[in-house]
Amino acid sequence: MRQILLVMAGLCFLGLAAGPAVAQSTGDRVLANFQNSGYWFAGVVGGVSGGRYTINYDDGDRETVSANAVRPYNWAAGTRVDCNWKGEGKWYPGVIASANGKRLSINYDDGDRENTQTAMCRSR
């Protein structure tokens, strides 16, 4: 019995680790691969049709993407991100120190700190 439980636990772990196998619904907070750039931005599913998802990004952009370009929102303290420092157009790497809704506190790799919003950050 113990072996069966261990095998089942392992299969569940593999399923969770495999990627965006979780179906998203309208209204869900997600990360989406904006314009297939390799960068994942925060947003909300605005609609689902034919296996494609319309994403309303936190920065105001909107696009429709395939299911493999959408994954559950998982930004939390300790997550590595790049953020647009003071909204000036330059992206710098750092770590989320704290998260509260769309508000993030970032500790940048160069030692700077900033309070910002999810609309100003992206992950890989």
Counted domains in the chain = 2
Widest Cα–Cα separation across the chain: 59
Does pLDDT of 85 surpass 50? yes
Q: Look up the CATH number of the domain holding residue 98.
A: 2.30.30.140
Does pLDDT of 108 surpass 90? yes
3-state helix, strand, coil in the chain (%, to 5): 25, 45, 30
Same domain, 65 and 89: no
Distance separating the N- and C-terminal Cα atoms of the chain? 40
Contact 91, 84 (CB under 8 A): yes
> What does the mean pLDDT of the chain come to?
87
Same domain, 54 and 93: no
* Domain boundaries, position 113: 80-122
Query: Each residue of 37-50: pLDDT tens digit?
Result: 999 999 999 999 99
Contact 51, 70 (CB under 8 A): no
pLDDT band at 51 (very low <50, low <70, confident <90, very high): very high
Same domain, 58 and 92: no
0.75 exceeded by pTM: yes
Cβ-proximal residues to 17 (8 Å cutoff; 6+ apart), any chain: none
